Structure 1
Amino acid sequence: MAEDKVELNNMEKALMDKMGQHTAREPNLFEQVFQPCVAELVGTTFFVFIGCVSVIENVEDAGRLQPALAHGLAVAVLIACMAEISGSHFNPSFTIAVYLCGGMKLEMVPLYLISQLTGGLLGAVMAKGMTSNENYAKAQGAAFTLLQADDHIVKALFGEIAMTCLVTMVVLLGVVNAKSKSPLVPFLVGCTVIINVLVGGDVSGTCLNPARVFGPAVLTNYWTHHWIYWVGPITGGLIAAALVRLLLGDNNTRVLMK
């Protein structure tokens, strides 16, 4: 009887060890490279699709509220679903900033950027297929047509920098920085996007994301002041990364005054 009990205990221990080994299994190449890129492509596709449709078919009475809620809620849902697969960047500015803060490997950066820009193009194609021709043409496929005078361009550029810096800091402090990590990141990022669109929608269109503007620009061949939506968000992301790396990050993330 005692021998049976010992044998049973040994079997249970072996089973527990096997389960522990299974749980601690290193991700394979598919999970490390291919799956994250697919998640970035799919997530960016649906984010751009929802965002474009919300602008193209925007109800006049709703003002900025409709695109603000659509963009913010879409990004919150997608982050919550795919954060454990790819980190849920869906934005070249975020990817560059996350890398600079030590949150990902360099070899994954170009793969993420390609996936995001491809997703932006696919999302714009889906938006065109769903919306009316009249509204699509009026909104330039949601490629942003607000900018007119030179002084307006400067203000729009500043807005894109400042607003992208804010949302990128939320991402970096909520995901990368160990001291301030939070399970509420999807909610926080979504709220920040909503706030930014409500505040800056009539100034720059509140793109904050090169992938968001790239797809619509390709389909409509509308490149007027397009550079603003690359320079602004990327600059804002770099500023946010610098703030976290130099001042706001924890001891592992911060490079100064350790």
Structure 2
Amino acid sequence: MSAQAEKLELEELDKTLLKKNEPKPLGKYERIIQPCVAELVGTTFFVFIGCVSVIENVEAAGRLQPALVHGLAVAVLVACMAEISGSHFNPPFTIAIWLCGGIQLTMVIPYLISQLIGGVLGAAMSKVMTSSKNYMNATGAAFTILKSDEQLGKVVFAEMAMTCLVTMVVLLGAVNGKSKSPLVPFMVGCTVIVNILAGGDVSGTCLNPARAFGPALMANYWAYHWVYWVGPIVGGLVAAALVRLLLGDEKIRVILK
């Protein structure tokens, strides 16, 4: 065999090996359906665990019990499902991540629907698990701290500012190439804990319309419910703007390149 023929044979062999080692393209289930299932399941268990921690809260623990439960639940679920769906579990996160280029537009609505259904399922599970007396006393873990229009401005601002903080942590830790970190589940979980400890007595620290919607529906408690949509969504948009305009890397920033 000539040297030229041997060289060609080796090149063909290399090409064959490269084709075998190439990752198989993801099918429709793994690209579209499985991420939505992960968002639904993750949101379901987050809301379920969070609601139970509020309904069965030991008075002596104060805000510490729900703060730790919500934060640790987020950390665990994000670590488990990040490679499947990105572990959003929160409509403002999905919107902000899309604005920063972390998810395709075609997946935004399916994610939002999955999260809201998950919120309802999680709230329903908490109702099944807890005693009727405790459930009624806690109004199903719906947010009842806002009682009058006098509190309105502070509560909306609290929800906006705290959601902005946790969304910024998500964007910088999971989307922005320059600051991506494998510690993002821990970072987001800790941010949720400190937010609840800091702002629980002001607004209840929802930060998530899916977390608000499920309990409100199951307990039929809708007083000032809109606050827990407007505050978190505006906060998420502010976080996305900060990353897109100032904090993001060159790929994400739209100005000051």
Where on the TM-score scale, by shorter chain, does this alignment land: which range? over 0.9
- Cα deviation 1:52-76 (Å, max 9, x = unaligned): 0000000000000000000000000
| Distance in structure 2 (CA, Å) of the matches to 1:15 and 1:198 | 58
Secondary structure, aligned partner of 2:103: coil
Letter in 2 for 1:161: M
Q: Give the aligned partner of residue 94 of structure 2.
A: 95
Q: Give the aligned partner of residue 18 of structure 2.
A: 17
| Distance in structure 2 (CA, Å) of the matches to 1:38 and 1:149 | 38
Letter in 1 for 2:256: M
Q: Give the aligned partner of residue 144 of structure 1.
A: 143
| Distance in structure 2 (CA, Å) of the matches to 1:93 and 1:18 | 40
Question: Structure 2 matches for 1:102-251, cutoff 5 A?
Answer: 102-251=101-250
Q: Give the aligned partner of residue 4 of structure 2.
A: none
Shift of 1:16: 4.4
| Distance in structure 2 (CA, Å) of the matches to 1:202 and 1:228 | 15
Shift of 1:172: 0.3
Shift of 1:11: 11
Whether 1:33 and 2:32 are equivalent positions in the alignment is yes
Secondary structure, aligned partner of 2:203: coil
Q: Give the aligned partner of residue 59 of structure 1.
A: 58
Shift of 1:28: 1.2
Shift of 1:148: 1.7
| Distance in structure 1 (CA, Å) of the matches to 2:187 and 2:13 | 44
Moved more, 67-76 or 143-152: 143-152
| Distance in structure 2 (CA, Å) of the matches to 1:209 and 1:77 | 17
| TM-score, with structure 1 as normaliser | 0.93
Secondary structure, aligned partner of 1:98: helix
Whether 1:255 and 2:251 are equivalent positions in the alignment is no
Count matched residues: 249
Secondary structure, aligned partner of 1:107: helix
| Distance in structure 1 (CA, Å) of the matches to 2:11 and 2:204 | 65
Q: Give the aligned partner of residue 79 of structure 1.
A: 78
Shift of 1:20: 1.1
| Distance in structure 1 (CA, Å) of the matches to 2:53 and 2:17 | 51
| Distance in structure 1 (CA, Å) of the matches to 2:14 and 2:109 | 45
Letter in 2 for 1:160: E
Secondary structure, aligned partner of 1:146: coil
- Cα deviation 1:157-216 (Å, max 9, x = unaligned): 110000000000000001110000000000000000000000011111100000001011
| Distance in structure 2 (CA, Å) of the matches to 1:104 and 1:25 | 21
Letter in 1 for 2:213: F
Q: Give the aligned partner of residue 69 of structure 1.
A: 68
Shift of 1:149: 2.8
Shift of 1:40: 0.1
| Distance in structure 2 (CA, Å) of the matches to 1:145 and 1:121 | 18
Shift of 1:151: 2.4
| Distance in structure 2 (CA, Å) of the matches to 1:51 and 1:41 | 15
Secondary structure, aligned partner of 1:104: coil
| Distance in structure 1 (CA, Å) of the matches to 2:166 and 2:182 | 16
Shift of 1:234: 0.1
Shift of 1:27: 1.2
Shift of 1:13: 5.7
Whether 1:48 and 2:47 are equivalent positions in the alignment is yes
Shift of 1:12: 8.8
Letter in 1 for 2:18: D
Runs (5+) with no aligned partner, structure 2: 1-9
